[in-house]
Structure 1
Amino acid sequence: PASRENLRAMVRGLLSEVPRKNLWQLAEAAGHPNPDRLQGFLAKAAWDADELRDRVRAHAVAALAADDAVLIADETGDIK
């Protein structure tokens, strides 16, 4: 359950209007006093990358199954 909560906080933060997407800002957006909880989640959470890829693919395929569906891929990275 804690991993799910941390993942939910990370995804919500990444999809939010937070101007900078670093762990401090994501933690603040989630109401955490510091990024320790999210850092611990990223460092220690066990997951299966293949299963995650397959689930994301299944979700995308289902979402794009409609005749009028459109996928727009835009790789606009931040200047470092």
Structure 2
Amino acid sequence: MSTIWVVLIAVVALIAGVALGFFIARQYMMKYLKENPPINEQMLRMMMMQMGQKPSQKKINQMMNQMNKMNDKK
């Protein structure tokens, strides 16, 4: 009977550890991406120049605002 309790406690602890680890990792990644966005204005300007477009500051601001709106919806 005591072996069943040990196994049960081990399984519950494992499940709790996995769930807690998942949420901690998720929070860390969300914070990291908010502080270090994957695309910034400089990268956007360079991509537009590579595509043959002359980027104006207004167009870059519009694209950054659009990307921020999409990130906020998620």
> Quick check: TM above 0.5?
no
Higher helix proportion (structure 1 or 2): 2
**Structure with the greater alpha carbon radius of gyration:** 2
TM-score by length of 2: 0.27
TM-score by length of 1: 0.25
